[in-house]
Structure 1
Amino acid sequence: MTRPVIATPRRLPEALSGMFRMKFDVREPDAPVADPAAFAELAGDAQAVIATAFDDMDAAFFERLPAGVKLIASIGVGVDHIDLAAAKARNVAVSNTPEVTTPCLADTTMGLIIAACRRFREGLDIARTGEGRGMLTPESWGQRVTGRTLGVVGMGNVGREVAKRARAFDMNIIYTTPRPSADIDKTFNARAISLDELLREADVITLHCPLKEETHRLIDAKAIAKMKPGAVIINISRGPVIDETALIVALKENRIFAAGLDVYDTEPGPIREALRALPNVYCLPHIASATTESRSAMAVRVLANLDAFFDTGAPLDRVV
């Protein structure tokens, strides 16, 4: 029996690739392929394509895509790297891997909140010098996390998991979301308010919204100007949700206290030097889901989507 053929624009980790090769013929390049024509040649007779968040699949990609490809199976929750309208026009289904990374994303968010509020970066730098009793003056002190007001922008799966963890710190939860509910309010003792109110009231603001036209540069200079002078902002959603230029200015001028980031406007390129050089910025290299548990679950979910597609013609987690 002929095995289904799948292709990917970049070489996958061996454990993941090996899992796919048990069931499928896999077309992988030695180095990432960004050119649509070159990828079309690689994909050849494939029926499905596996994508990561670092593989931009725009209209030009779909124009060149071999006619036999009818599924883009994306690894991760966000699909903003895929032109969904172009996929739909070509009758190509798109799937993602929702929910499986939620606990690790929420853990990372809380880690960034604590690190940013307590100024762990500066403390670690001092400790590396051998000094055992640094940060003794008031201007070097951090902020307490317990009892502060947490503003959650986007109360989906991850936002709710963050709220659950924040309650253990006795944080007051306010949130903004397209679909507020009495259940959310009761479960987390939370209060749904407008974004403007949240920006003004929250001590810590954490972003958990998808990247769409209406969320692009959601946190810009005007939004930052509404925040408390001691506010901390956390972003593990998508880089372009924040105007990084405005954020850098605000942090340099100490108009807000700190930022904790795992995603960047410049991805897949390097983090802006002006951003990572600031002592009150806590930068992670997009590792919120980089745990053995999350990556294994993502691989299993992608495989389930591929199996469902080849068995029934539709993936389990269909986006379009």
Structure 2
Amino acid sequence: MTEKSIIATPRRLPGALAGLLRATYEVREPEGDVAAPGEFAGYAEGAEAVFATAFDDMDEGFIRDLPESVKLIASIGVGVDHIDLEAAKRRGIAVSNTPEVTTACLADTTMGLIIAACRRFREGLDIARTGEGRGMLTPETWGQRVTGRTLGIIGMGNVGKEVAKRAQGFDLKIIYTTPRPSPEIDKAYNARAVALDDLLKQADIISLHCPLKPETHHLIDGAAIEKMKPSAVIINISRGPVIDEMALIAALKSGRLFAAGLDVFETEPAPIREELYSLPNVFCLPHIASATWESRSAMAMRVLANINAYFETGAPADRVV
């Protein structure tokens, strides 16, 4: 063991981030891109901190097998649904994330998906690729105007609020549901808090910004979809399993819903379902809402700050548990 504190990671880090960490710490990575099953605990022996991404499934078994030396899981990204927080708590392992730094880019992506889904840009792009100069001339292929419609935001946290701010530029009427509604939110974003059922019935566009928890798994299922307008458009940049994708696919195929714009998928990290991405009324992005130079750089610096704070003070700045 070197004089440097040791950080272990289940997957190889981007060169720039690895360089930042290696300037201060000993970094242990897998030989391949991702650690083989059963490999990680071995080379993590002696490490005090583990670096994690949203694609590293750290369930109870993973955490149980961690060496006793591990006292911090520093995750890059806002969501921590890939980590069994209760198991970490039982082991006395702190968990941190990187909140806030991606908020603007996530909100920008949401607005892009709203426009793309409402205006059926996916179908227009397919026609343009044929070389056709004038397509979508018949009513069954027309899109919807975004301006002036009702936007329902499920989850009025940092991202939901930024989406509401941008939505005002499109004269969207904003309704929302959140665990802690307040008159201050209503006033600041010209919004109105409603019950979830009312939001599903009233909204023309439904945008998901809630964390993945047991109570939000398949929050949008067949029963929820039945409450929506047939002209409704659904947007998801939160977590894929918040939507029951098979129910969504059936609704999009049958015309029960107008369109969807998705950046996250129930099957991640496995491939997107072909029957979803092949639909002309679905606009898919490959989980890239935070994939900007600004967000990724800020995320890297934030996770580094959490690791530094842990080794300097015994606790990361953005502690989740």
Unaligned stretches of 5+ residues in structure 1: none
Deviations 1:25-76 (A, max 9, x none): 10011221252x3111021211000000000011111111011110000000
**1: CA distance between counterparts of 2:129 and 2:268?**
30
Which residue number corresponds to residue 268 of structure 1? 269
**1:151 corresponds to:** 152
Deviation by residue 1:168-214 (Cα, 9 ceiling, x = unmatched) = 10000000000001111001110000000000000000000000111
> What secondary structure, in the 3-state scheme, does the structure 2 residue paired with 1:121 have?
helix
Aligned twin of 1:252: 253
**Cα distance in 1, alignment partners of residues 130 and 191 from structure 2:** 43
Q: Is the 8 Å Cα contact of residues 153 and 206 (structure 1) preserved in structure 2?
A: yes
Count the aligned residue pairs.
Answer: 319
For the residue of structure 2 that corresponds to 1:234, the secondary structure is strand
Does residue 61 of structure 1 match 2:62? Answer: yes
Q: Deviations over 1:257-291 (max 9, x none)?
A: 00111111111100011111111111111000000
Amino acid at match of 2:311: F
CA 112–254 in structure 1, closer or farther in 2 if over 3 Å, else same = same
Q: Is the 8 A contact 1:163 1:173 kept in 2?
A: yes
Cα distance in 2, alignment partners of residues 232 and 266 from structure 1:
21
Q: Which amino acid aligns with 2:234?
A: I
SS in 2 for 1:213: coil
CA separation in 2, counterparts of 1:70 and 1:34?
A: 22
TM-score by length of structure 1 reads 0.98
The aligned residue for residue 166 of structure 2 is: 165
The one-letter code sitting in structure 2 at the alignment partner of 1:241 is V
Q: What TM-score comes out, normalization by structure 2 length? A: 0.98
| Structure 1 CA distance for aligned equivalents of residues 45 and 88 of structure 2 | 18
Mapped to 1, the partners of 2:263 and 2:221 lie a distance apart of 18
Query: Is contact 1:34–1:55 with CA below 8 Å preserved after alignment?
Result: no
The CA RMSD measured in Å over matched residues stands at: 0.9
How far apart, CA to CA, are the structure 1 residues paired with 2:43 and 2:208?
A: 37
Describe the superposition over 1:139-160 as per-residue Cα deviations: whole angstroms up to 9, x where unpaired: 1110000000000000000000
Output the amino acid matched with 1:285. P
Query: 2: distance between equivalents of 1:206 and 1:242?
Result: 11
Instruction: Note if contact 1:121-1:279 (Cα within 8 Å) is conserved in structure 2.
Output: yes
* Aligned AA (1:209): C
Runs of 4+ in structure 1 over 2 Å off: none
**Equivalent AA in structure 2 for residue 69 of structure 1:** V
Aligned counterpart, 2:202:
201
**Alignment-derived partner of residue 240 in structure 1:** 241
**CA separation in 1, counterparts of 2:161 and 2:190?**
12
For structure 2, the residue ranges without an aligned partner over 5 or more in a row are: none
Mapped partners of 2:136, 2:64: distance in 1: 58
Distance 1:160 1:115 in 2: 21
Percent identity between matched residues is 74
In 2, the alpha carbon distance for the partners of 1:188 and 1:250 equals: 31
Q: Secondary structure at the match of 2:39?
A: helix
Supply the AA of the counterpart residue of 1:19.
L
- Deviations along 1:118-148, whole A, 9 cap, x unmatched? 0111111111111111111111110000000
Structure 1: distance between partners of 2:193 and 2:35: 44
Q: Match for 2:69: what amino acid?
A: G
